[in-house]
Amino acid sequence: MKKPFYIAFIAAFLALCLLPSVALLCGYEAENRENRPLARLTSLWGRDGLNLSFPAEFDDYFEDHFGFREEMVTAFHGLTMSLLGDTLNEKVIVGKNNMLFYSETLDDYLGINLLTDEEISRIAACLRIQQAYCQAQGISFTFAIAPNKNTIYPENMPSRYAPTGEAGNRDRLYAALADAGVETVDFAALLLSHKEDGQLYHDRDTHWNERGALLAYNAIMERIAGNTAYETYAACEPKTVYDDAGDLHNFVLPALAGDRPRPDYGIVADFSYDAGARPAQDTTFGTTSNANRISLHLFRDSFGNALLPLLSTNLGRVKYSAEFPYNYTLLDAETPDAVLIELVERNIANLLSAAPLMPALETEAPSIASEGSAARLVQYRRSGYTQLAGCFPAAVQPDRIFILLEREGETHSFEAFPILEAQAESLADGMDGARGFSLTLPEGLAGEYAVSVVADGVRYSAGTATWAED
């Protein structure tokens, strides 16, 4: 009696194991809801013959595309969430009150692996230089940090995570920016002051919901609109709809439709995209409306998505750019009234990864009190501009770094970003106290120059450099 049962059990088990592969072979293709590119199927044979990486590449492809993948992922994580209060997905933290959190925000929440005071100071210097560039062209500049979800809702983080109480990158950077005179909007303080008005972030997403985005929108408009009237949407009463999913939801429950509540204000967008714009694919695109004549250039990340219909409807011209490092040459085609940088809290450190593409402003030559040892220099072309980058030895990080270009009867001085570019990292090998610099030269300076770095009154010779323009 037991033998037929065992045979049936084994047959069912084998069928279940083979089902994903059979479904894949039959053309099953699940919708990608995980906000990441899925692995592509590669060929066993390449131009140079046998592709030795094919087994590993096929394994990645199968893992992303096997039949009924979404259903199996959903079943697994649904079970672990019910039994263990966790998803076992390294990107997702299961919090209290049905909230999911992004694991990449955990260091900020705990107050660990923070930026050093020197790094915070360097970021502030970088933003100060960007503000000076904008102001020199009559453009207002504002920097704003979109807070991590657990910055606004720490009470919903799991109890097993205990913050150190150390001041985080966001608070320390805002303090440094205040000292540097950089204009900011503090979204975190704003959102925290409105928590009692209703939920401000999606349950199962990393981003603010429409209520949170409205608060951020009004703070931006208050900063850039001046005396121009604009719609605040203060009279709009949201209704609650139950269709919300989100990026974190799709990581762990991709086969389930969204059923979480969210506020819906019923706001009707009224603007036009530029001809040929593909907002879902393009890193840079523009919008126009008949609201007024105010123009804004927004350097943004994914938190800007919820701001787009609000800003585009209520500003005459908006240019959106998700390009990073920030590209200030985009301002050349149309000079906006205002530039705003919106950056999520967890990515503050990225501001030191590379300097913006920004033709340097010529400055008054700094005073020189002494001569130091040699600086190391590399030059390269970047989007049609000459880039000077390198490093020099200094016991402490200077407050400001200047680059001097000199030739007979001619001297040019520019303030450099305090950033060690990837192209110059090898130059720092063996140099004690290597301090990085990065500079995009403005057009019109082709030729041969003696290059030196000046910091805290000390000149560091960097030899000569020669370049021609495109």
Q: Is residue 86 part of a domain?
A: no
One domain for residues 389 and 317: no
Q: What's residue 379's pLDDT?
A: 96
| Nearest of 204, 310, 287 to residue 251 by alpha carbon | 204
Q: What's residue 42's pLDDT?
A: 63
One domain for residues 221 and 335: yes
User: How many structural domains comprise the chain?
Assistant: 3
Q: What's residue 250's pLDDT?
A: 81
Residue indicated by tokens 């994914």 = 302
Which of 319, 352, 385 represents a domain boundary (last residue)?
A: 352
One domain for residues 26 and 60: yes
Q: Is residue 104 part of a domain?
A: no
Which of 317, 352, 387 represents a domain boundary (last residue)?
A: 352
Residue indicated by tokens 């530029």 = 274
Q: Is residue 411 part of a domain?
A: yes
Residue indicated by tokens 């989100």 = 246
One domain for residues 345 and 433: no
Which of 295, 326, 352 represents a domain boundary (last residue)?
A: 352
Q: Is residue 208 part of a domain?
A: yes
Q: What does pTM read for this prediction?
A: 0.85
One domain for residues 332 and 217: yes
One domain for residues 200 and 284: yes
Task: Output phi, psi for 351, to 5 deg.
Answer: -65, -15
Q: Is residue 83 part of a domain?
A: no
One domain for residues 333 and 390: no
Cα(285)–Cα(271) distance, integer angstroms: 13
One domain for residues 346 and 409: no
Tokens of 110: 């705990």
One domain for residues 401 and 325: no
Q: What is the CA 371 to chain-centroid distance, rounded? A: 39
One domain for residues 284 and 257: yes
pLDDT tens, residue order, the chain (470 aa): 455 644 554 544 444 444 455 544 555 555 555 555 656 656 666 566 666 665 666 556 555 554 455 555 565 555 666 555 677 788 999 999 999 999 999 999 999 999 999 999 999 999 999 999 999 999 999 999 999 999 999 999 999 999 999 999 999 999 999 999 999 999 999 999 999 999 999 999 999 999 999 999 999 999 999 999 999 999 999 999 999 989 888 877 766 777 899 999 999 999 999 999 999 999 999 999 999 999 999 999 999 999 999 999 999 999 999 999 999 999 999 999 999 999 999 999 999 999 999 999 999 999 999 999 999 999 999 999 999 999 999 999 999 999 999 999 899 999 999 999 999 999 999 999 999 999 999 999 989 999 999 999 999 999 999 988 76
Q: Is residue 94 part of a domain?
A: no
Q: What's residue 43's pLDDT?
A: 62
Q: What's residue 194's pLDDT?
A: 98
Q: Which range of residues forms the domain containing residue 37?
A: 2-67
Burial 45-78 (b: 16+ CB within 10 A, else e): eeeeeeeeebeebeeebeebbbbbbbeebbeebe
